[in-house]
Chains A and B, each alone.
Chain A
Amino acid sequence: MESKHVNQQIAAMRQSFFDEEVLDEFFSQLEQLEDQNNPNFVEEVFTMYFRDSTTLLETVEQAMKTISITLAKMDKILHQLKGSSASVGANKVLNEINKTRQVLEKGNLEGTKAGIWEMRKKYGSLKAKLEPYFQLKQANSVPQEK
Chain B
Amino acid sequence: MAPTLPSSDQASDQDNWDNGRLARKRQLLIEIVLRNRLTALVVDGDTTCRVLEQLLLRSYGVQTQGVDNGRDAVALIASGVKFDLIIIDMILPVLNGLEATRQIRDMGVHCKMLGVTICSGESERQAFLAAGVDVFIEKPLDPEHLVPILRELDGQ
Contact residues in A for B140 (Cβ distance below 8 Å): 26, 83, 86-87
- Interface flags for A56-95 (1: CB within 8 Å of B; 0: not) read 0000000000000000000000011011101111010011
Give complex CA distance A91, B5 in Å. Answer: 11
- Residues from chain B with a CB closer than 8 A to the CB of A94 are 2
Is B131 positioned at the interface, with any CB of A under 8 Å from its CB? Answer: no
CB pair A33 B55 closer than 8 Å: yes
Contacts A33-B59, A83-B140, A88-B48 supplied; 17 other A-B pairs, CB < 8 Å: A19-B11, A21-B5, A25-B2, A25-B3, A26-B140, A28-B18, A33-B55, A45-B52, A48-B48, A52-B46, A79-B91, A80-B46, A82-B139, A83-B49, A83-B118, A84-B49, A87-B48
Q: Which residues on A sit within 8 Å (CB–CB) of B22?
A: 25, 28
Q: How many residues of A contact B (CB 8 A)?
A: 28
CA distance A88 to B14 in the complex (A): 19
A25's partner among B21, B55, B56, B91 (CB-CB below 8 A) is B21
The 8 Å CB contact of B14, one of A19, A52, A82, is A19
A residues in contact with B59, CB < 8 Å: 33
Interface of A is mostly: helix
Tell whether A30 is near chain B: CB-to-CB under 8 Å: yes
**Cβ < 8 Å to A, chain B residues 131-147:** 139-140, 142-143
Closest beta carbon of chain B to A11's beta carbon, Å: 13
Most buried by A among B26, B118, B139, B142: B118
- The answer to whether A32 has its CB under 8 Å from any CB of chain B is yes
For this complex, 16 residue pairs linking A to B, each with C-beta atoms less than 8 Å apart, are: A18-B18, A19-B14, A24-B3, A25-B18, A25-B25, A29-B25, A29-B142, A32-B25, A32-B26, A32-B29, A33-B29, A41-B55, A48-B51, A80-B45, A83-B117, A94-B2
Cα separation A21 to B13 with both chains bound (whole Å): 13
How many interface residues does B have (CB within 8 Å)?
A: 31
The reply to whether B18 and A26 form a contact with Cβ atoms under 8 Å apart is no
Inter-chain contacts of A89 with B (CB < 8 A): 2
A117 interfacial contact with B, CB 8 Å: no
* B47: contacting residue among A18, A19, A52, A82, CB under 8 A: A52
Interface of A toward B, CB cutoff 8 Å: 18-19, 21, 24-26, 28-30, 32-33, 41, 45, 48-49, 52, 79-80, 82-84, 86-89, 91, 94-95
